């Protein structure tokens, strides 16, 4: 299969601190203001005139020595923590900015959606912007007209299509922008995490369209998201960036756990009195142990914690909480609210929690554990391990809920047993 995008020794540096305005007269005005203790007259709106702190270097490398190849028809998720270089990489690939060193070679026209309103002229109507974007991609008017009704129908803005887009809400803006990028005849579709602006129904619709573009039409899709469930559902491959470096690239099923593990390692691990320890955790889906923590949506889940107590404790309750990839608490299972209190004996024992139906929506979740007695925390581990919830049919179906909706667990049973 042919190569759609190739990056060779790609790097991008940004200059920190004050940068010249472009003219000597304005630079002098800025200098006079500074020595006079006044605000910089050429500060951009939203910037602050804070000169109290400065980093160790005036140059930051958003990307450093990035090398990869993406084949035509691939759906590739680009993941990493905030500041890892994901958006910068997409801007370089989209030709919005030039690399400092290295080069990008690509085959085919690129349609990108990097932020709300990318490529739109605010004074033009929705209709005019559709034709403008098509013209930028090199399409003929007849080709754009053929796609026009489909674009408007997908965006759901027919009533406002002849209204200047500067009057659109951010949701309407991103609906139309995505519809244009996805439906016009481009070989490469690049989408940053702007879909979070839309509502849940539209996010689901966009994921379905991107899957259709990639698998049905054989076009290349690059997708940035912090929702690991969406990345796993849509993408076969993933690129993991960390502090501007290419940390890993390969099969999405292997890369996503690396990202989640790296994220967990940066979190605080243990809080408590150092008298009770959770030494290990095991997962069982349909009675089969899964070492990767990959669980099927809606299926039974069994979690076994190995606990060591250095002394006896009575009236102990245990909680297991699930935070999604955005670190939002989705659901909790706490034994005391189920009327169950336990006695921890000195030594090693196993806590066995069986959830009859785990209805967390597909995403990567962090398991957080609490062990407490009479309001005293004996053990609390934040981000102890990852649970990756996937669609139950194991297909790449995109008919799945959006993270944050309908996340709950059904009836559970808990028991403590001694080794």
Residue 162 in this model has a pLDDT that exceeds 90: yes
Q: CA neighbours within 13 Å on the CB side: how many for 29?
A: 11
**Would you say residue 191 lies in a domain?**
yes
pLDDT given for residue 392 in this prediction? 63
Per-residue pLDDT, averaged over 135-146, amounts to 84
What's the number of domains the chain is made of?
Answer: 3
249 versus 36: the higher-pLDDT residue is 249
What pLDDT, on a 0 to 100 scale, did the predictor assign at position 403? 34
Lowest-confidence segment of 82-86, 124-128, 328-332 by average pLDDT: 328-332
pLDDT at 190 over 70: yes
Confidence (pTM) = 0.60
**392 vs 231, residue with greater confidence:** 231
pLDDT(62) > 50: yes
Q: Are residues 105 and 200 in the same domain?
A: yes
Q: What is the CATH number of the domain that holds 120?
A: 3.40.50.300
- pLDDT at residue 151 is higher than 80: yes
CA-to-CA distance for 333 and 355, rounded, in angstroms?
9
Predicted confidence band of residue 342 (pLDDT cuts 50, 70, 90)? confident
58 located within any domain: no
Does a structural domain hold residue 88? yes
Q: How far apart are CA 234 and CA 179, in angstroms?
A: 18
Residue 223: closest CA among 75, 5, 326, 117? 75
Residue 220 in domain: yes
On the question of pLDDT at 337 being above 60, the answer is yes
Residue 397 lies in a domain: yes
Given 202, 231, 263, which residue is the final one in a domain? 263
Residues 231 and 343 occupy one common structural domain: no
Whether the Cβ atoms of residue 183 and residue 154 lie closer than 8 Å to each other: yes
Which pLDDT belongs to residue 261? Answer: 62
More confident of the two residues 296 and 144: 144
Is residue 350 predicted with pLDDT exceeding 80? Answer: yes
The mean predicted confidence, pLDDT, of the chain is 77
**213 and 335, same structural domain?**
no
Copy the structure tokens of residue 98: 């030039």
pLDDT band at 127 (very low <50, low <70, confident <90, very high): very high
Mean pLDDT for 99-119 is 78
Instruction: Name which of 150-159, 224-233, 254-263 the model is least confident about.
Output: 254-263
Q: Are residues 322 and 379 in the same domain?
A: yes
Same structural domain for residues 259 and 276?
no
- Asked if 117 contacts 172 with a C-beta cutoff of 8 angstroms, the reply is no
Please enumerate in sequence order all residues whose Cβ is within 8 A of that of 135, keeping only pairs 6 or more positions apart, or say none.
141, 144
Q: Is residue 182 part of a domain?
A: yes
Hey, CA dihedral for 273, 275, 276, 280, is it positive or negative? positive
Give yes or no for residue 292 having a pLDDT over 60: no
> What gap in Å lies between CA 283 and CA 290, rounded to an integer?
6
Model confidence at 413, pLDDT cuts 50, 70, 90, reads low
- Of 229, 263, 297, the one marking the end of a domain is 263
% of residues, the chain, pLDDT over 70: 77
124 pLDDT band, cuts 50/70/90, is: very high
Q: Give pLDDT tens digits for 365-390.
A: 888 888 888 878 888 877 656 677 77
255/275 same-domain check: no
Beta partners for residue 370, in sequence order: 319, 380
Distance CA 164, CA 176 (A): 12
Q: 35: domain range?
A: 18-53
If asked whether residues 225 and 100 sit together in one domain, one would say yes
- What's the pLDDT score for residue 149? 92
Q: Indicate if the pLDDT at residue 278 is higher than 80.
A: yes
Q: Of 28-42, 245-259, 339-353, where does mean pLDDT reach its minimum?
A: 28-42
Copy the structure tokens of residue 376.
């005293």
Q: Which two tokens stand for residue 386?
A: 């990852």
Residue 72 vs residue 291, higher pLDDT: 72
Nearest to 12 by CA among 103, 119, 106: 103
pLDDT tens profile 395-410: 333 333 333 333 344 4
Residue at which a domain ends, from 232, 263, 294: 263
| Residue closest to 252 by CA, chosen among 231, 271, 226 | 231
Q: 273 and 165 in one domain?
A: no
Rounded Cα distance, 43 and 35, in Å:
16
Q: Are residues 182 and 220 in the same domain?
A: yes
- Does residue 60 lie within any of the structural domains? no
Please check whether residues 78 and 160 belong to one and the same domain: yes
**pLDDT at residue 348 greater than cutoff 70:** yes
User: Is residue 9 over pLDDT 50?
Assistant: yes
Is residue 417 pLDDT above 80, yes or no? no
Residues 113 and 233 in one domain: yes
What pLDDT is recorded for position 128? 93
Q: Is residue 214 part of a domain?
A: yes
- In this structure, the answer to whether residues 291 and 256 fall within a common structural domain is no
Judge whether residue 164 has pLDDT over 90. Answer: yes
HSE of 268, CA atoms in CB hemisphere, 13 A: 6
Tell me the pLDDT band of 45, cut-offs 50, 70 and 90.
very low
* C-beta of residue 256 within 8 angstroms of C-beta of residue 97: no
């Amino acid at each position: 299969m042919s190569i759609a995008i190739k990056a060779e020794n790609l790097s991008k540096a940004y200059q920190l601190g004050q940068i010249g305005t472009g003219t000597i007269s304005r630079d002098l005005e800025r200098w006079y203001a500074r020595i006079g203790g006044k605000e910089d007259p050429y500060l951009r709106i939203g910037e602050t005139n804070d000169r109290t702190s400065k980093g160790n270097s005036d140059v930051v490398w958003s990307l450093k020595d990035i090398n990869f190849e993406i084949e035509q028809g691939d759906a590739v998720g680009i993941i990493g923590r905030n500041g890892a270089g994901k958006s910068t990489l997409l801007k370089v690939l989209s030709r919005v900015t030039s690399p400092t060193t290295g080069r990008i070679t690509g085959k085919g026209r690129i349609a990108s959606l990097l932020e709300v309103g990318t490529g739109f002229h605010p004074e033009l109507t929705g209709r005019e912007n559709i034709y403008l974007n098509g013209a930028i991609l090199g399409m003929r008017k007849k080709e754009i007209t053929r796609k026009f009704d489909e674009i408007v129908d997908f965006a759901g803005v027919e009533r406002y299509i002849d209204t200047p887009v500067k009057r659109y809400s951010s949701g309407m803006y991103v609906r139309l922008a995505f519809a244009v990028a996805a439906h016009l005849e481009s070989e490469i579709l690049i989408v940053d995490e702007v879909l979070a602006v839309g509502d849940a129904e539209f996010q689901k619709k966009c994921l379905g369209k991107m899957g259709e573009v990639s698998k049905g039409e054989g076009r290349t899709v690059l997708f940035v998201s912090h929702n690991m469930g969406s990345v796993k559902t849509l993408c076969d491959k993933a690129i993991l960036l960390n502090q501007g470096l290419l940390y890993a690239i390969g099969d999405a099923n292997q890369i996503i756990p690396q990202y989640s593990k790296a994220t967990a390692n940066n979190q605080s691990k243990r809080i408590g009195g150092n008298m009770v320890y959770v030494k290990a955790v095991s997962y069982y889906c349909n009675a089969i142990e899964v070492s990767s923590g990959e669980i099927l949506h809606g299926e039974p889940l069994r979690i076994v914690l190995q606990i060591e107590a250095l002394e006896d404790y009575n009236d102990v309750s245990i909680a297991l909480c699930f935070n999604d990839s955005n670190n939002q608490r989705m659901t909790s299972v706490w034994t005391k609210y189920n009327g169950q209190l336990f006695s921890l004996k000195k030594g090693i024992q196993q806590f066995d929690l069986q959830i009859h139906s785990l209805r967390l929506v597909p995403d990567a979740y962090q398991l957080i554990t609490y062990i407490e007695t009479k309001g005293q925390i004996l053990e609390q581990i934040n981000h102890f391990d990852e649970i990756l919830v996937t669609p139950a049919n194991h297909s790449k179906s995109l008919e799945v809920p959006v993270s944050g909706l309908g996340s709950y667990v059904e009836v559970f049973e808990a028991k403590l047993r001694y080794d």
